[in-house]
Amino acid sequence: MTVEEAIRRRRSVRRFQKKPVPRELLMELLDMARWAPCASECCRFVVVQDEERKKQLASAARQEWVASAPVVVVVGADLMERPEIAGRWDAYKFRNIFPVQDTAAAIQTLMLAAVSHGLGTCWIGSFNEGEVARIVHFPLAVRPVAMVAMGYPADEPKARGRRPLEEVVFWETFK
Ligand SMILES: Cc1cc2nc3c(=O)[nH]c(=O)nc-3n(C[C@H](O)[C@H](O)[C@H](O)COP(=O)(O)O)c2cc1C
């Protein structure tokens, strides 16, 4: 599958087959996610397959369907103090903005890699951060940014529309 095919084929999938996802495949996908562009290599991935823990994550998200995904990857940003950036003019960005961008790039890479292997995914951004951190035992410095539900799709969701290209693309200035 080409990158373009993966981009165009990806949909948010919220219904999954019971079929498990092989561990080697998960490792391969996470390896690809690791190669996404990153400012500080702050991304951490916790792969959750235990039924009880998935239920707890679903509850932390107030989204019951999450527990039905064979795999939920909790993506965190390790915000541990880094003395080497303390005096930098862009230290604020390193601490507050780049971790979000790093994890977002990794998540999208993970999702496209998953599509290319016939898997469905859904990005879950709405959840109680404290609860998720507690469930996967993140230390204080690691902040949960998103979860990715993953598995072989049980249906083929229709494409959600997007704003027309001419409404979102500007040339030279935002006119
Ligand atoms: C930052 C972010 C947070 C999201 N949070 C959730 C979520 O909590 N639950 C959910 O079901 N979908 C969530 N989504 C998925 C969007 O609803 C979905 O991407 C959007 O409706 C477009 O549909 P598509 O992914 O099929 O193109 C999230 C997506 C993003 C990028």
User: How many Å apart are CA 123 and CA 101, to the nearest integer?
Assistant: 15
Say which residues have a Cβ less than 8 Å from residue 76's Cβ, sequence separation at least 6. 43, 44, 45, 46, 103, 133, 136, 138, 142, 143, 144, 145
pTM of the model: 0.96
Domain ranges in the chain?
A: 3-152
Please provide the CATH number assigned to the domain covering 3-152: 3.40.109.10
pLDDT tens for residues 77-135?
999 888 888 788 888 898 889 999 999 999 999 999 999 999 999 999 999 999 999 99
**Residue 82 and residue 31: Cα distance in Å, rounded?**
24
Atom of ligand 1 nearest to the CA of 61: 8
57-85 burial code (b ≥16 CB/10 A, e <16): bbbbbebeebbbbbbbbbbbbbbeeeeeb
Is the CB of residue 58 below 6 angstroms from any atom belonging to ligand 1? no
Q: 122 C-alpha to center of ligand 1: Å? A: 6
In the prediction, which pLDDT does 90 show?
Answer: 86
